[in-house]
Chains A and B, each alone.
Chain A
Amino acid sequence: MTIHATLSTGRRRFLQWGAAGAGAMALPGLARAQDKPSEIIVRAWGGAWGESLKAGVADPFTAATGIDVRLDFTEDNEIKPKLWAAVDQGRIPPIHVNWDTTTNATISALRGVTVDLSDLPNLEGLLPLAKPTGLDGYPLVNTYAYVYVCAYRPEAFPDGPPQSWTVMLDPKFKGRVALYDDGIGFNPIAVIAGGGTFDDVPDNMEPGYAFYRKLKENQPLLGEDADFTTWFQNGEIDLACTISVNARAARQSGIAVEWTVPAEGCKVDTDGLWVPKGLPENEEYWAKQFVNFALSEQAQAKWCSLLGLPPVYPGLAPPEDLVGDPSYPTTPEDFARLVSVPSPVLVENQPIWFARFSEIFQG
């Protein structure tokens, strides 16, 4: 593509919509809805995450429909205000499908910027996990579950994997423990590790805060996915609470990392897909088709096995290296070892937890 062509996309898009608008008067709604856009844009996480979406969903979708899929790696938190502003101002949103954490997606749904997906045929027969909680219909659809595991450097644990999260408080690991910089994935676990029970969440988080205050003495590092990988690679940390996908990707690129689910359990959560309001009708149609496709058996099998995560499509076998792995829950007993907080509770309480978390660690 020449620079001229690149620069004139805006105008071409405009002409395209103009054509679509003109067509609207001549053709019945359904036929127009199926006018194929040349591409749809899906926001995704990069690295192992994006590669799995490309191989498992995007490429097969392109093969089946002829529509190119462009991945947009804008961070999930940063695309949020961009989408909200676009919908509020009546502009075309910058992406067609958002691959998002269920919590963030729920917030966007509460804000009313998501399209209802209830009429997607592939919703039928999915595990109950696929249905978002506390919301009417399907303003988003969950696509798989994931676990915030305890990732560790085997060299630092010669006696086997850590049995309890309280190992974080061991002075031996001073400055060598990492958490997400907003405490995400660990807040309910901190309550249990701090002597409370799951029933204390969300009304009595004090045991968790007490755990954090003790942990602060041990000077933990706070970061994000990329930081954890980097830190493990450079021998900066021995232990981190991170999503199993990252630990697995790190191991696959030759970094010495293992993971486990300690006695207190690990937080399990879901990610989902949603389509923003305000797209031209035909593009919204194909964006929904993309989501529908991502829920098909073929896509779920490939996408989720590449991620190493349990899909919402029932009865699919885990990838070979994860059979029996505690970070890949399949049976009710597996799920019993994990801690799941309903999205509405998270949406309501996460800002409060975050404020306390930064009060303790930034103070």
Chain B
Amino acid sequence: MTDQLSKRVVLWGLVWFSIVTLSLPTVIIIGASFTSGDIIRFPPEGFSLRWYWELWQLSDFTNALLRTLYVAVICTLISLPVGTLAALATVRYRLRFRRSIQVYLLLPFTIPLVVSGLSMMILFGEMRILGQLWPVGLGICIINLPFMIWSVSASVNAIDPDLENAAMNCGAPPVQTFLTVTLPAVMPGVITGGLLSFILAFNEFLVSLFLTDSRTVTLPVQIYNSIRSIITPDLAAVSVLYILIALIAVWLLDRLVGLEIFLRSK
């Protein structure tokens, strides 16, 4: 029993430390967004929705928000099939040069984002596709592709290859096996990966900075640029708005498929 107790104390001690570190800045920013003063401060000066109101009144703001949504959707739509197939390929099929492929697929993380952003700007510029929004989605998809691949491959690792073999042996044709056995089995990974792709695209600013202009600017880029001069409470308000969107998304997900899907082992 004391053994179980010490386990609980150690584990929960570390978990509580993580919980506090993960949430503290969020709590501060939420609090600060309700200030009635001109600067971010905690505890906030008075209580008001002034900065939310100011946010709402910016017509640029809603446009930027919509563009961000569009970009995040494009990014997720590309990530899902590309990442899932790549994950299946890397885990289920025998491939040559596999070490090199591993390192190659990690390039989006080993190349600094400014460099990725700059080179995509030059390449997309040569291709004359800059100034449109879909290349932004594509660019963000590329720099975050490893996340998608690994979320899926983590769940591919967890499934039993015999299941597929059994299906095949029973005469199930390949596409059917894929749709009825393989895909459902990796679904938790696909959902985690898709969600992560969407979230990251929704918040990406460094690569987007190079691929957008002021007519196609996305919200994170706008925030990044305005932070350069002075940090006002409207930025805190934007963050809170983001959190609200996140909570609604998480709630919806919970209602629709259940959050447990992240943790399903089979």
Interface residues of A (CB under 8 A from B): 1, 3, 6-7, 9-10, 13, 41, 45-50, 70-75, 78, 81-82, 85-86, 89, 91, 94-95, 224-226, 229-230, 233, 249, 253-255
A70-B66 contact in complex given A86-B125, A91-B125, C-beta closer than 8 Å: no
10 contacts between A and B (CB under 8 A): A1-B59, A72-B214, A74-B225, A78-B209, A86-B125, A89-B122, A224-B228, A226-B229, A253-B38, A254-B39
CB pair A95 B230 closer than 8 Å: no
Which residues of B are found within 8 Å of A94, using beta-carbon distances?
131, 213-214
Residue of A nearest to B126 (CB): A89
Query: What interface size band does chain B fall in?
Result: 20 to 34
| Pairs of residues from A and B, 10 with the lowest C-beta to C-beta distance, nearest first | A46-B229, A47-B229, A94-B213, A72-B214, A47-B230, A73-B225, A3-B66, A253-B38, A89-B125, A46-B226
Given pairs A72-B217, A249-B230, A253-B39, 14 additional interface contacts (CB within 8 A): A1-B63, A3-B67, A3-B70, A7-B70, A9-B215, A9-B216, A45-B229, A73-B226, A91-B130, A94-B214, A225-B229, A226-B230, A253-B38, A254-B38
Report the bound CA distance from A3 to B210 in whole Å.
21
User: In whole Å, how far is B164's beta carbon from the nearest beta carbon of chain A?
Assistant: 42
B121 within 8 A of A: yes
CB pair B230 A48 closer than 8 Å: yes
B247 within 8 A of A: no
User: In whole Å, how far is A178's beta carbon from the nearest beta carbon of chain B?
Assistant: 15
CB pair B125 A226 closer than 8 Å: no
Which residues of B are found within 8 Å of A71, using beta-carbon distances?
214
Which residues of A are found within 8 Å of B213, using beta-carbon distances?
41, 72, 82, 94-95
Interface residues of B in 106-136 (CB under 8 A from A): 118, 121-122, 125-126, 128, 130-133
Report the bound CA distance from A132 to B38 in whole Å.
38
Which residues of B are found within 8 Å of A82, using beta-carbon distances?
121, 210, 213
Query: Out of A13, A70, A225, A254, which one reaches B228, CB within 8 Å?
Result: A225
Query: Out of A10, A41, A229, A254, which one reaches B132, CB within 8 Å?
Result: A10
Report the bound CA distance from A357 to B216 in whole Å.
37
Residue of B nearest to A7 (CB): B133
Residue of A nearest to B214 (CB): A72
Which residues of A are found within 8 Å of B118, using beta-carbon distances?
81
Report the bound CA distance from A255 to B41 in whole Å.
12
User: In whole Å, how far is B137's beta carbon from the nearest beta carbon of chain A?
Assistant: 12
Report the bound CA distance from A229 to B209 in whole Å.
24
Which residues of B are found within 8 Å of A225, using beta-carbon distances?
228-230
Report the bound CA distance from A247 to B106 in whole Å.
45
Which residues of A are found within 8 Å of B227, using beta-carbon distances?
226
CB pair B209 A74 closer than 8 Å: yes
Report the bound CA distance from A46 to B214 in whole Å.
14
Which residues of B are found within 8 Å of A48, using beta-carbon distances?
229-230
Which residues of A are found within 8 Å of B209, using beta-carbon distances?
74, 78
Report the bound CA distance from A226 to B223 in whole Å.
13
User: In whole Å, how far is A202's beta carbon from the nearest beta carbon of chain B?
Assistant: 29
CB pair A229 B231 closer than 8 Å: yes
Report the bound CA distance from A75 to B228 in whole Å.
7
Report the bound CA distance from A3 to B92 in whole Å.
41
Which residues of A are found within 8 Å of B131, using beta-carbon distances?
10, 13, 94
A85-B229 contact in complex given A3-B66, A6-B67, C-beta closer than 8 Å: no
Provide the B11-31 mask, 1 if CB < 8 A to any CB of A, else 0.
000000000000000000000
Report the bound CA distance from A91 to B213 in whole Å.
13
Interface residues of B in 208-245 (CB under 8 A from A): 209-210, 213-217, 222, 225-231
The CB with the most chain A CB atoms within 10 A, among B63, B121, B214, B226, is that of B214
Interface residues of B in 46-76 (CB under 8 A from A): 59, 63, 66-67, 70
Which residues of B are found within 8 Å of A229, using beta-carbon distances?
230-231
A91-B128 contact in complex given A9-B216, A82-B210, A253-B38, C-beta closer than 8 Å: yes
CB pair B39 A73 closer than 8 Å: no
Report the bound CA distance from A78 to B35 in whole Å.
32
User: In whole Å, how far is A136's beta carbon from the nearest beta carbon of chain B?
Assistant: 29
A49-B229 contact in complex given A70-B214, A81-B118, A85-B121, C-beta closer than 8 Å: yes
Residue of B nearest to A73 (CB): B225
Report the bound CA distance from A307 to B59 in whole Å.
26
User: In whole Å, how far is A226's beta carbon from the nearest beta carbon of chain B?
Assistant: 6
Residue of A nearest to B69 (CB): A3
CB pair A255 B133 closer than 8 Å: no
Residue of A nearest to B222 (CB): A73
Which residues of A are found within 8 Å of B225, using beta-carbon distances?
46, 73-75
CB pair A85 B125 closer than 8 Å: yes
Residue of B nearest to A72 (CB): B214
CB pair A226 B228 closer than 8 Å: yes
User: In whole Å, how far is A180's beta carbon from the nearest beta carbon of chain B?
Assistant: 13
Which residues of B are found within 8 Å of A95, using beta-carbon distances?
213-214
Report the bound CA distance from A48 to B214 in whole Å.
19
Which residues of B are found within 8 Å of A47, using beta-carbon distances?
226, 229-230
Which residues of A are found within 8 Å of B38, using beta-carbon distances?
253-254
User: In whole Å, how far is A234's beta carbon from the nearest beta carbon of chain B?
Assistant: 9
User: In whole Å, how far is A23's beta carbon from the nearest beta carbon of chain B?
Assistant: 22
Residue of A nearest to B210 (CB): A82
